[in-house]
Amino acid sequence: MGKRIGLEVSISAAEAVKMANVDCVGAYPITPQTHIVEHLSELVNDGELDAEFIPVESEHSAMSVCAGVAAVGARAFTCTSSQGLALMNEIVHIVASMRLPMVMILANRSMSGPISIWNDHTDVMSIRDCGWVQVFANNGQEVFDHVLFGYRVAESEKVMLPVMIHLDGFILTHVIEPVEFWEEEQVARYLPDFKPTYPLHPDRPVTMGPLGMPDMYSEAKVAQDEALIQSKSEIISAWKELGDIVGRYYKPIEAYKTEDAETLFITQGSFGETVSLVVDSLRDEGEPVGLLMDRLWRPFPFEEFRQAVGNARNLIVIDRAISYGGQGGPLAIDVRSILYKEKNQPNITNFICGLASRDVTIDDFKNIYSKSMEKMKTSPREEDFEYYGIRGK
């Protein structure tokens, strides 16, 4: 077992990137991701990590650097947040279509405007359909483990796709938590060297990222989507092996006290930890309630999700992003769609809250539970969603 030390989550994330022995970090600082790249630049400067650190002039270049690095068969890392992600958006889509493996940490932050440096998932949802494997980490340990998991999945011959790890800005990035480091030997066993099928090399010239005319663009996109869908089996086996090595077993949908639960909260990211305390408290009061935390966002684990919902009668979906003019938050829209074919559809209520780091406390979640129970009793399908805690609403 590796050493267990108290560290800021950003610093331990950077240490995990070091353990993954990356070849190049191309990054531009942006709050709240800054500490991760700052620490990586120190590790490279101090000779603790033998890698190129390329301090680029924009996030568009950061992702372009990573594309080039992955294309030659080297290991690339970058991380960003909200506006930085928006600026690199073009290349984020392109690396997925070019099947270039890499890991990016997204320190989740609201999209401006109004200008906000705080935390929610509006940046995550802005690139929901970019074609990356996307996982949510709920605490520092999960971030650490998922950096190594990320490279393992991304570089797998069966996957060859970039992996994005979502962690809540400030709420996780700037918090000190105990994190258990891996032993070098465990990393060596878990993460083999990266061997791409067609590395860019003068001796074996290939054309990467060519034009896709209308007569083959659709086939190329279907091939890309199939690759993402099929990556799920590799993701599951990479989690299984991670568990066998370090003793922490992860699942696409994490369930907490769901046995005999009539009502389930559904969350993404660090809210899961808060809601688990809410579930404890409500269970003490005799309420049959449980929690599902969505860890794997894309490819969405439909089968596991349906199984996890089981016979629950009510679902309370918590969203931290807006689909403007849409039918609720992005998570709720997916949840409703997934359960459409079920014979006994549960009632679904959706609350959008916690935008730009606005606190949603245990009492707030209990209040959400009461509101939801009221709606379930009277008119569960009348309202598609509700903004929680808005002055004047």
Cα–Cα distance for residue pair 42/28, rounded to 1 Å: 14
Q: What's the min distance (Å) between Cβ of 222 and other proteins? A: 4
Taken as a whole, the chain contains a residue count of 393
Q: Which stretch binds other proteins (CB under 8 A): 8-16, 211-219, 229-237, 326-334?
A: 211-219
- Nearer Cβ to other proteins (192/212): 212
- Nearer Cβ to other proteins (193/215): 215
Build a one-symbol-per-residue string for 99-118: x at contacts with other proteins by CB under 8 A, - elsewhere: xx------------------
Examine residue 229 and tell whether it contacts other proteins (CB under 8 A).
no
For residue 73, count other CB atoms closer than 10 A to its CB: 18
CB-based contacts of 309, cutoff 8 Å, min separation 6: 264, 292, 315, 339, 346
Q: What's the min distance (Å) between Cβ of 260 and other proteins? A: 45
- End-to-end alpha-carbon separation of the chain, Å? 51
What one-character DSSP code corresponds to residue 357?
G
Written as six digits, the tokens of 319 are 């969203």
Q: Which stretch binds other proteins (CB under 8 A): 42-50, 207-215, 291-299, 341-349?
A: 207-215
- Nearer Cβ to other proteins (98/275): 98
**Range 59-98, binding other proteins (CB under 8 A):** 97-98
- Nearer Cβ to other proteins (93/371): 93
Examine residue 210 and tell whether it contacts other proteins (CB under 8 A).
yes
Examine residue 220 and tell whether it contacts other proteins (CB under 8 A).
yes
- Nearer Cβ to other proteins (72/206): 206
**DSSP letters for 237-266:** HHHHHHHHHHS----SEEEES-TT-SEEEE
Residue type at position 138? N
Build a one-symbol-per-residue string for 181-200: x at contacts with other proteins by CB under 8 A, - elsewhere: ----------------xx--
Q: What's the min distance (Å) between Cβ of 31 and other proteins? A: 33
Examine residue 153 and tell whether it contacts other proteins (CB under 8 A).
no
Q: How many residues bind other proteins (CB under 8 A)?
A: 22
The values of phi and psi at residue 73, to 5°, are 95, 25
**Interface with other proteins (CB under 8 A), residue from 90, 219, 303, 359:** 219
- From 269, 26, 76, 293, select the one nearest 169 (Cα to Cα): 269
Q: Does residue 133 contact residue 106 with C-beta atoms inside 8 Å?
A: no
Q: Which stretch binds other proteins (CB under 8 A): 35-43, 182-190, 213-221, 250-258?
A: 213-221
* Angle at alpha carbon of residue 106, lines to 115 and 275, rounded to 5°: 90
- From 256, 245, 328, 263, select the one nearest 295 (Cα to Cα): 256
Q: Does residue 263 contact residue 316 with C-beta atoms inside 8 Å?
A: yes
Contact positions toward other proteins, by CB under 8 A?
Answer: 97-100, 160, 197-198, 205-210, 212-213, 215-216, 219-220, 222-223, 226
